[in-house]
Amino acid sequence: MIKNIIEFKRNQLYETIGLVGLSAEETLTISQELERFMNYHAKINGTLHNMQTNQAKIHVNVLLNIFQLISDEKLNLPFELNKQVLKKAQWINFDFAHTLLHAMVEYYGPEIEEFIGESTPIHAVFPKEIQSVHEALKHLDFIFHLNHKSPDYIGEYLPFMDIKNEAVLFCHTPNYSSAFNHGLIQGLSKKFNQSLNVKILDKSNGGQFKIVG
C-alpha cells in the first residue's frame, strides 16, 4: 500500500508537471508529501531511526484517562500506584505508561487496549481549533506529539487523504497496537459525532486503516 502511494505521488508530481504544469506552491506541497511517505517507508523498514523510549515522556492527561476509565468501569488496577504523583506532574516517563498499559492488557485481555484508545481523545491534549474528524486525522501526528515528547523518534501517524471522504491512516507506533489505534479512530468518531466505516488493512507496528465517512 505505501509503495503504491509513493508511486502515485511521484506520478502526480512529475507527470502533472509535464502535462499541465504546477504552481510553485503545488509543487512544494506534493514534493513534501512524497518525502514524508518515502521517509515513513524507510522507517518501517528499519533503515532510519532506532526506537528509543528511555528519554520519552507522555502527558499526564493520557494516564489520567486510563485511571478515569478504571474508575468509571470499576476495574482493578493491576498494581499499587501512588496517584498523588500524577497530580503533581505534567509529564510522566513513557516507559512507566507503557508498563501500565501492558499490565492492563495482561490483566483484562486485548479488548481493554481498544477501549483505552477509544477514550483517549476525551482526555488527551487536543487543539481547540480542530473541529472535525477530517481535521483530526489530518493532524493526528501533531496531536500525538502534543501528548508525547522525546529527543528520539518514538513513532508517527501518516494519513493519505487524496480521495474525498476517504483516508488511509498509516500508524507506525510499536508501543501502541493496532487495537489501541482502532479504538483511537473510533474515539475521534465519537468526539465529533461523525459515523465512520473503519477497515483494518494491516495490524503490524500499530496498524494501517482505511477510513470512509
Q: Range of 168's domain? A: 50-213
pLDDT at position 32: 75
Do 135 and 162 reside in the same domain of the chain?
yes
Q: Among the residues of 20-154, which ranges form H helices?
A: 24-44, 60-72, 84-88, 94-108, 111-123, 133-138, 140-147
Do 36 and 90 reside in the same domain of the chain?
no
pLDDT in tens, 95-108: 888 888 888 888 88
Beta strands in 5-162 (DSSP E): 57-59, 91-93, 148-149, 156-160
Do 9 and 26 reside in the same domain of the chain?
yes
Cα–Cα dist 161/101, whole Å: 30
pLDDT in tens, 48-92: 455 677 789 999 988 888 888 888 888 887 666 666 666 778 898
Asked whether the CA dihedral 102, 108, 113, 116 is positive or negative, the reply is: negative
Residue 187: all three cell numbers together = 474515539
Do 78 and 101 reside in the same domain of the chain?
yes
Do 75 and 142 reside in the same domain of the chain?
yes
Calculate mean pLDDT across residues 125-147: 95
Do 57 and 43 reside in the same domain of the chain?
no
Do 108 and 179 reside in the same domain of the chain?
yes
Distance of CA 70 to the CA centre of its chain: 22
DSSP state of 182: H
Do 57 and 42 reside in the same domain of the chain?
no
Indicate the number of domains in the chain.
Answer: 2
* pTM exceeds cut of 0.95: no
Do 43 and 76 reside in the same domain of the chain?
no
Percent of the chain with pLDDT strictly greater than 70: 89
Exposed e or buried b per residue across 147-176, where buried means at least 16 C-beta atoms within 10 angstroms of its C-beta: bbebeeebbbbbbbeeeeeebbbbbbbebb
Do 74 and 136 reside in the same domain of the chain?
yes
Do 109 and 189 reside in the same domain of the chain?
yes
State the greatest distance between any 2 C-alpha atoms of the chain, in Å, as a whole number: 65
Do 162 and 174 reside in the same domain of the chain?
yes
Cα–Cα dist 1/115, whole Å: 27
Q: What's the CATH number where 86 sits?
A: 3.90.1520.10
